[in-house]
Amino acid sequence: MSPSRANCSSTSSSSGRWSPTQEQVMVLHALYRSGLTKPNPSQVERITSQLSLYGRVQSKNVLYWFQNRKARDRKNLRNKLHQQHQPQLYHHHHQLLINNYYNTTPSPFALQLFNCFPQ
């Protein structure tokens, strides 16, 4: 691939898949961080026009980029919330197992937690 092709092209001819340039990604990220998470059709056209200054791009690329970015953010948030709650659940479940092993009376919270799990 020639140096000029690597710097300005944002469409791979072999796969037909859009690869945004660094400038295009910077513009998209800036718009997303500013609060534009779901652009309407006229906004998509304006963004596409602006991004075309930095390389080839189609409206569908812009639309899909915003959809994918929002989906990634939701997934990351779910993973973060799951990681924050996982140690707490593990600790209480583990304590319940220890209480049962030593035949001690589990705490009311442990009983409530235990009832949440199917038998």
**Distance (Å, rounded) from C-alpha 109 to C-alpha 92?**
8
Strand partners, 11: 18
Dump pLDDT digits (tens) for 20-74.
Answer: 999 999 999 999 988 988 999 999 999 999 999 999 999 999 999 999 999 998 8
**Distance (Å, rounded) from C-alpha 16 to C-alpha 85?**
42
Of 1-5, 24-28, 35-39, 100-104, give the range with the top mean pLDDT: 24-28
Dump pLDDT digits (tens) for 78-95.
Answer: 888 777 666 555 555 556
Q: Within 10 A of 87 (CB to CB), how many other CB atoms are there?
A: 9
Whether the per-residue pLDDT at 109 is higher than 70: the answer is no
Whether the per-residue pLDDT at 108 is higher than 70: the answer is no
Q: Within 10 A of 16 (CB to CB), how many other CB atoms are there?
A: 7
Q: Hey, what domains does the chain have and what are their CATH numbers? A: 22-103 (1.10.10)
Q: Within 10 A of 62 (CB to CB), how many other CB atoms are there?
A: 26
What's the pLDDT score for residue 117? 45
DSSP string, 19-62: ---HHHHHHHHHHHHTT-SS--HHHHHHHHHHHTTSS---HHHH
What's the pLDDT score for residue 69? 95
Instruction: Specify the higher pLDDT residue, 111 or 73.
Output: 73
What's the pLDDT score for residue 1? 46
Q: Are 21 and 10 in contact (CB under 8 A)?
A: yes
Q: Are 54 and 27 in contact (CB under 8 A)?
A: yes
